[in-house]
């Protein structure tokens, strides 16, 4: 055993069980892990779309993909389709993989922009394997160019899977509600938590996974909050599940409504639907009606309203407490980034684990890394609102005309002028993602990189035609998504 070895996780949602699984897998018997959760309080119960990096987390856990997919009734996700975001009736796709072919000097969109300037009207999505597969409703691994993908899963089943995994590795689950937190009178470090039953659980490191309430990090340690609601004005969501009625789309759909947007997430056994909105522009009952008016299939539960605040905790690691998940901050789910932030928080914690006690330099490093990463994601999400051309409601007028962070202004004006994209190593979204959203929402760069002028007009035309044909060829090799799931990873009761 190492000296600083008692980890107490409070909260058993996605964040709590992901932390328990990864820490127990990495450190085994070198640390003891106790996880406290309360069935009476329950979990937020949403959070079912991911981004491709989650595959790395599963590699760390050595989870078999087919077993995982069967357990969580999962489906595959090639990206997000955005409907009505630029103008009503428009749609574009943000794929997970890079389009076309690129040179070291310039990304593919520069070639496409030059051809477009010469009158070529081919849609940008036709050069992307992921976009074209998604539009055809196909998914598969045939051929040499495999798609980049993530998953949709049932959040409750994911936590259940990780709970079994963690308990097998020795994590001890304690059912009960934490009602009191004891801290050291001088250092302010948390020493123990007390449950309603009177049981006291002591530890060296506490991980706050208590959701929006931030029981340890905020209610006890009063860490502070940076509010981002002037940029990300949604503060509510209403969620409802429906029976599956149509083919299984291999992507998440985000449809903009008059004061927010609606998600559609297809799983094997049901569809997750929700409307994320700003209650200042749309009251809860109107949001619920809007959602129910715009879903297919019979509802299988009652619509549930969830309230949230966008922003971040000033420190995600404070004293001997690390906040993961909703207790650490929330950006709204537009690009499915929360589970990814949990994953990265856990990996950072493992790398900086305080084996011999809290080291303030390591704590500062952790907080700085998290801050940098989340600010890039924040800018990427604001981008979707800022670039709209919609002027059909006060909500969209305010989004379109709001002052955005300088870091984002710089990115947009660089792209508008030259098609260039400023890329930072901590930016989760690669240049192809920024390009997909900016082009999708109607930005027309005034220029392109001169390296694409090295080809003459004919060469460029042939180059693009070859890419388009090869994308088509790859796409047509793949089965329909539903058939792929049925053949590889369907949950037995949904196999039919």
Phi, psi of 329 (to 5 degrees): 145, 165
H or E element in which residue 83 lies: strand 79-83
Strand partners of residue 276: 237, 261
Instruction: Point out which span in 8-16, 160-168, 280-288, 423-431 binds ligand FAD (CB under 6 A).
Output: 8-16
Spatial neighbors of 12 by CB under 8 A, at least 6 apart, are 35, 36, 37, 43, 159, 163, 173, 209
Q: Which of residues 97-156 bind ligand FAD (CB under 6 A)?
A: 155
| Residue 326 in contact with ligand FAD, rule: CB under 6 A | yes
| Residue 211 in contact with ligand FAD, rule: CB under 6 A | yes
Least distance to ligand FAD, CB of residue 98, Å? 22
Nearest to 335 by CA among 370, 384, 404, 290: 384
Least distance to ligand FAD, CB of residue 53, Å? 11
Task: Tell me which of 127, 308, 353, 395 binds ligand FAD, using CB under 6 A.
Answer: 308
Complex with ligand FAD: residue 51 or 420, whichever CB lies closer: 51
Residue with token string 């994590």: 171
Binding mask 236-275 for ligand FAD (x = CB under 6 A): -x------------------------------------x-
- Per-residue DSSP letter, 138: B
Q: Which of residues 335-364 bind ligand FAD (CB under 6 A)?
A: 336, 338-339, 342
Complex with ligand FAD: residue 209 or 438, whichever CB lies closer: 209
- Torsion angle of the four alpha carbons 211, 212, 213, 215, in this order, in degrees rounded to the nearest 10: 40
Residue pair 68/154 in contact by the 8 Å Cβ criterion: no
Binding mask 177-206 for ligand FAD (x = CB under 6 A): xx----------------------------
Tokens for 137? 């409703």
Give pairs for 185-189: CB < 8 Å, separation 24+.
187/319, 188/221, 188/319, 189/319, 189/320, 189/358
Binding mask 268-307 for ligand FAD (x = CB under 6 A): ------x-x-----------------------------x-
> Cα separations (Å) of 306 from 275, 317, 342?
10, 26, 20
- Per-residue DSSP letter, 309: -
Spatial neighbors of 279 by CB under 8 A, at least 6 apart, are 235, 236, 287
Determine which one of 77, 160, 177, 411 is catalytic.
Answer: 77
Annotated catalytic, 77? yes
Task: Tell me which of 140, 203, 325, 354 binds ligand FAD, using CB under 6 A.
Answer: 325
Least distance to ligand FAD, CB of residue 183, Å? 16
Residue pair 422/410 in contact by the 8 Å Cβ criterion: yes
Complex with ligand FAD: residue 181 or 471, whichever CB lies closer: 181
Instruction: Point out which span in 10-18, 125-133, 355-363, 451-459 binds ligand FAD (CB under 6 A).
Output: 10-18
Distance, in Å, from the CA atom of 346 to the CA atom of 14, rounded to the nearest integer, reads 12
| Residue 38 in contact with ligand FAD, rule: CB under 6 A | yes
Distance, in Å, from the CA atom of 254 to the CA atom of 284, rounded to the nearest integer, reads 19
Which residues would be at the binding site for ligand FAD (CB under 6 A)?
Answer: 10-16, 36-38, 41-44, 46-50, 155, 177-178, 209-211, 213, 215, 237, 274, 276, 306, 308, 325-327, 333, 336, 338-339, 342
- Would you please indicate which residues are annotated as catalytic (active-site) residues? 77
């Amino acid at each position: 055993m190492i000296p600083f070895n008692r980890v107490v996780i409070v909260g058993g949602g996605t964040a709590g069980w992901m932390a328990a699984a990864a820490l127990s897998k990495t450190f085994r018997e070198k640390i003891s892990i106790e996880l406290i959760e309360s069935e009476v309080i329950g979990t937020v119960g949403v959070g079912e779309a991911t981004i491709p990096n989650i595959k790395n987390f599963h590699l760390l856990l050595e989870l078999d993909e087919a077993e995982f997919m069967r357990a969580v009734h999962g489906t595959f996700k090639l990206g997000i389709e955005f409907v009505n975001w630029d103008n009503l009736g428009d749609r574009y796709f943000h794929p997970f993989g890079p389009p076309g072919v690129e040179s070291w000097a310039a990304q593919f969109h520069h070639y496409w922009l030059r051809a477009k300037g010469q009158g070529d009207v081919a849609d940008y999505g036709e050069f992307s394997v992921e976009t074209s597969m998604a539009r055809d409703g196909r998914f598969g691994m045939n051929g040499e160019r495999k798609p980049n993908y993530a998953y949709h899963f049932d959040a409750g089943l994911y936590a259940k899977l990780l709970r079994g995994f963690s308990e097998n590795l020795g994590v001890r689950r304690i059912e009960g509600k934490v009602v009191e937190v004891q801290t050291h009178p001088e250092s302010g470090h948390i020493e123990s938590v007390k449950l309603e039953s009177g049981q006291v659980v002591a530890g060296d490191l506490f991980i706050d996974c208590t959701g929006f309430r931030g029981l340890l990090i905020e209610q006890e340690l009063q860490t502070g909050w940076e509010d981002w609601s002037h940029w990300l004005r949604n503060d509510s969501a209403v969620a409802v599940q429906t029976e599956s009625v149509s083919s299984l789309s291999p992507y998440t759909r985000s449809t903009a409504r008059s004061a927010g947007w609606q998600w559609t997430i297809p799983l094997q056994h049901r569809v997750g639907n929700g409307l994320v909105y700003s209650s200042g522009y749309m009251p809860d009952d109107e949001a619920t009606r809007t959602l129910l008016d715009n879903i297919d299939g019979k509802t299988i539960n009652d619509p549930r309203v969830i309230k949230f605040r966008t922003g971040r905790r000033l420190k995600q690691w404070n004293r001997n407490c690390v906040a993961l998940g909703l207790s650490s901050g929330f950006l709204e789910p537009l690009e499915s980034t929360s589970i990814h932030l949990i994953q990265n928080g856990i990996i950072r914690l493992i790398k900086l684990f305080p084996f011999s006690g809290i080291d303030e330099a390591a704590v500062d490093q952790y907080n700085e890394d998290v801050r940098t990463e989340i600010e890039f994601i924040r800018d990427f999400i604001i981008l979707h609102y800022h670039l709209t051309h919609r002027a059909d409601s006060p909500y969209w007028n305010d989004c379109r005309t709001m002052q955005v962070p300088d870091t984002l202004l710089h990115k947009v004006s660089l792209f508008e002028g030259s098609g260039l994209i400023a890329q930072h190593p901590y930016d989760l979204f690669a240049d192809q993602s920024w390009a997909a959203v900016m082009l999708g929402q109607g930005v027309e760069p005034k220029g392109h990189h001169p390296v694409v002028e090295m080809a003459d007009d004919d060469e460029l035309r042939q180059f693009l035609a070859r890419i388009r044909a090869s994308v088509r060829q790859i796409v047509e090799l793949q089965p329909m998504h539903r058939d792929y799931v049925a053949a590889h990873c369907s949950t037995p009761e949904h196999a039919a």
